Amino acid sequence: MDMILVLTVLIVVFALAFDFINGFHDTANAIATSVSTRALTPRRAILLAATMNFIGALTFTGVAKTITKDIVDPFALENGPVIILAALTSAIAWNLITWYYGIPSSSSHALIGSIAGAAISAAGFGILNYSGFLKILQSLIFSPFLALAVGFVVMTIFRIIFKNANLYSTTRGFRLFQIVTASLQAYTHGTNDAQKAMGIITMALIAGGYHATTDIPEWVRISAATAMGFGTAIGGWKIIKTVGGKIMKIRPINGAAADLSSALIIFSATTFHLPVSTTHVISSAIMGVGAAQRVKGVKWGVARRIVLTWIITLPISALIAAFLYQVFNLFF
């Protein structure tokens, strides 16, 4: 059997595995607040997230195209299948390590860092598409700060509007509203996060000579969306606990404000075809909401640990991918 075909099939399998892992690693964040406030049971929340995520994944392809062409040019990639396989293996390894320890790392940082690291290892720094790569980095860096600010503003508005409202009826109303905001959150997650594996598969198809354009094939969209849906349905409880409750004590009004804020940031990024870390955005929105209520109410120690993991994810995944490329290149 042709080695390029074998590598391409391996990449498709690994990319779908990445999406599956992303499902229980990142998608859990989309429903964390609704579970923490008891607006939804874990089972119902995970089923809702899986469904809405699947729908979101099939709605847009802009982020997938960005991943396909903006980090490196897939048409100019020599030994492309080996580079992509090394990148995927690295991203999956980092995701599994952070998931095992219950640390809300970022699948987006891991994947983008891994692609860059493997490509540089193969062809040097000149291989990177710097305009596209820097645009992606800016999106990853600034989106959490925007989410923090929006979360603070939304929560402040909620506090002003419902200042004199009956506590029981307000809590009950926001629990019901959270079903809507959690659905919106999961949907926007699908419009952004599920597309990263689609972009990787399309890049591999181009590098292997099996696809001639950066358009995302329909079977790739359906496969990636399904893989993430199954991943969501099977796992995620560890991350739910960290994001949902350890950053701050969450009430329904906080959860709704955080969901609404992060969904707004994620969907805005999707509209501009920019990948963001949904983990960063959601966690930052929760911090912004907490700070609007009481700065001391946010458990900044946990927040610092999460931020530290965010910072180290991109360089560590790049180094792992660079090493794996050299190893894989000996065999393929």
* Residues ≥6 apart with Cβ < 8 Å to 119: 71, 72, 77, 83, 87, 127, 128
- CA Rg value for the chain: 19
Quote the distance between the C-alpha of residue 138 and its chain's center: 16
Closest CA to 254 of 277, 278, 287: 287
* Residues ≥6 apart with Cβ < 8 Å to 160: none
- Cβ(72)–Cβ(119) below 8 Å: yes
Q: What is the pTM of this model?
A: 0.86
Quote the distance between the C-alpha of residue 95 and its chain's center: 11
pLDDT in tens, the chain (332 residues): 588 899 999 999 999 988 887 777 666 666 777 777 777 777 787 788 888 888 998 888 999 999 999 999 998 888 899 999 999 999 989 888 877 877 667 788 899 999 999 999 999 999 999 999 999 999 998 998 899 999 999 999 998 988 877 766 787 888 888 888 888 988 998 899 889 999 999 999 999 899 999 899 999 999 999 998 888 777 655 555 555 445 456 678 888 898 899 999 999 999 999 999 887 888 889 889 988 887 776 777 767 776 777 788 899 999 999 999 999 999 88
Q: Sketch the domain layout of the chain as residue ranges.
A: 3-331
- Cβ(154)–Cβ(257) below 8 Å: yes
How many C-alpha atoms does 236 have within 13 Å on its Cβ side? 31
Would you call 213 helix, strand, or coil by DSSP? coil
Place of tokens 């959150």: 185
